[in-house]
């Protein structure tokens, strides 16, 4: 799957040519946040490439990541006579990418689409790998499909307009990716925290490319998550549970960061990592404006939500734990008490490890 890293949208038409996309109709799918920022720029970049260009904007927000929203997009495409030779372009963050990909996977039993991620989280994680889906009754991505994009076109300059809380949310996925597979990259990220905070273009470009490369390599080896790809779910089991419990009032990457800390706590409880490694993982979240703790959660309720997670195997919650920074593994034997201890650690309820 081609990945492009650019500083504008100028070469987007060339990417469409290389992918062999049809020249009739293209629908730029975005949300009400990204439409006013980038829809015109993308339309202008493609004006000579496609005969018909449409823009469709979902209402922004995770709460709109539903089957009802997908049905509305189906209606839009049908009304404009889209067929299997036409293309969808996902312009926006992870929600837009997941929804557009799912619509592309299911409309007319599948049409082609490409990802144009505009948030840090989407550029380093959700746009890569072909996972698509929508939430169902508040459960994250419970309905979905694997449907690979024709390409991913990243214009890193879009991060200049990204609000600070969304940028830090993306850093949750950057740190997670380094934790599972690359200790040196984790150390590099920590060593460049000032430049990252200042959004230095060259530093950000290297960070985005490195994170995306790690995920792409894992996805290529395990495209449908039969084994190794599950490692990318570090932090997501408890993270998704917190996200749902908080009714999506927290950003996804913030919840993933909390989930990574909880997983590190469980790993420390098994004496797989040292106290120093646990507290480094926790404290680095603060350095990138990510939370260490979450207030006001019912630990038992969060535990019950984890048991409804889609990442189950034989009725057992599947967890990703750490043997060290840059070394993750799949654990199918994590007990309820271990999960509760991980939740208590991020809830600040007295779980302390000696440093």
Question: Tens of pLDDT along 224-245?
Answer: 888 899 999 999 999 999 999 9
Q: What is the dihedral of CA 65, 67, 70, 75, to 10 degrees?
A: -150
Angle at 28 between CA 177 and CA 116, to 5 degrees: 25
Residue 140 and residue 45 share a domain: yes
Structural domain contains residue 80 = yes
d(C-alpha 180, C-alpha 231), whole Å: 7
Provide the pLDDT confidence category of residue 54 given band limits of 50, 70 and 90.
very high
* Statement: the pTM of the whole predicted model exceeds 0.85: yes
Residue 29: in which H helix or E strand, if any? Answer: strand 25-31
What is the predicted pLDDT for the residue at 317? 82
CATH for 106? 3.40.50.1970
> Stretch 93-108: mean pLDDT, rounded?
98
pLDDT digits (tens, 9 = 90+) for 121-148: 999 999 999 999 999 988 888 999 999 9
What is the predicted pLDDT for the residue at 310? 59
Which residues, including other chains, have CB under 8 Å from residue 304's CB and lie 6 or more apart? Answer: none
Provide the pLDDT confidence category of residue 219 given band limits of 50, 70 and 90.
very high
Residue 295 and residue 187 share a domain: yes
Structural domain contains residue 147 = yes
Residue 260: in which H helix or E strand, if any? Answer: helix 252-269
Structural domain contains residue 208 = no
Residue 192 and residue 131 share a domain: no
Residue 132 and residue 235 share a domain: no
Total number of domains constituting the chain: 2
| Beta partners for residue 316, in sequence order | 313
> Stretch 205-221: mean pLDDT, rounded?
96
Tokens of residue 40, six digits: 């015109």
| Contact yes or no for 124/176 (Cβ under 8 A) | no
Angle at 115 between CA 147 and CA 24, to 5 degrees: 90
Phi, psi dihedrals of residue 185, rounded to the nearest 5°? -65, -35
Residue 320 and residue 231 share a domain: yes
What is the predicted pLDDT for the residue at 295? 86
What is the predicted pLDDT for the residue at 314? 62
What is the predicted pLDDT for the residue at 349? 56
What is the predicted pLDDT for the residue at 352? 55
Q: Does the pLDDT of residue 307 top 90, yes or no? A: no
Of 352 and 250, which is predicted with more confidence? 250
What is the predicted pLDDT for the residue at 294? 93
Domain that holds residue 258: 174-201+224-346
Residue 251 and residue 118 share a domain: no
């Amino acid at each position: 799957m081609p990945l492009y890293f650019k500083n504008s949208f100028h070469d987007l038409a060339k990417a469409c040519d290389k992918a062999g996309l049809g020249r009739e109709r293209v629908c730029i799918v975005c949300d009400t946040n990204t439409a006013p920022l980038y829809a015109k720029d993308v339309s202008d970049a493609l004006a000579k490439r496609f005969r018909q260009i449409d823009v469709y904007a979902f209402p922004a927000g995770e709460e709109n990541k539903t089957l009802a929203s997908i049905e509305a997009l189906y209606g839009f495409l049908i009304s404009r006579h889209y067929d299997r030779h036409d293309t969808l372009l996902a312009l926006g963050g992870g929600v837009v990418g997941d929804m557009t990909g799912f619509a592309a996977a299911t409309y007319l039993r599948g049409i082609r689409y490409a990802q144009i991620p505009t948030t840090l989280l989407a550029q380093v994680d959700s746009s890569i790998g072909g996972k698509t889906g929508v939430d169902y009754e508040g459960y994250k991505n419970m309905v979905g499909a694997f449907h690979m994009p024709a390409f991913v076109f990243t214009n890193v300059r879009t991060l200049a307009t990204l609000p600070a809380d969304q940028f830090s949310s993306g850093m949750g996925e950057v740190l997670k990716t380094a934790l599972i597979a690359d200790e040196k990259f984790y150390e590099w990220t920590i060593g460049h925290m000032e430049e990252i905070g200042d959004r230095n273009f060259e530093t950000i470009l290297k960070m985005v490319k490195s994170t995306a490369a790690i995920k792409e390599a894992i996805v290529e080896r395990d495209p449908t998550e039969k084994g190794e790809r599950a490692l990318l779910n570090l932090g997501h089991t408890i993270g998704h549970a917190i996200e749902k419990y908080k009714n999506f009032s927290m950003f996804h990457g913030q919840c993933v960061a909390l989930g990574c800390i909880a997983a590190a706590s469980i790993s420390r409880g098994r004496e797989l990592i040292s106290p120093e490694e646990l507290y480094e993982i926790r404290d680095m979240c603060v350095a990138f404006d990510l939370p260490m703790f979450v207030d006001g959660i019912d630990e038992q309720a969060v535990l019950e939500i984890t048991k409804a997670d889609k990442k189950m195997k034989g009725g057992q919650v599947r967890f990703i734990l750490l043997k060290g920074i840059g070394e993750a593994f799949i654990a199918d034997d994590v007990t309820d008490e271990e999960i509760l201890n991980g939740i208590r650690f991020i809830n600040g309820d007295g779980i302390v490890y000696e440093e």
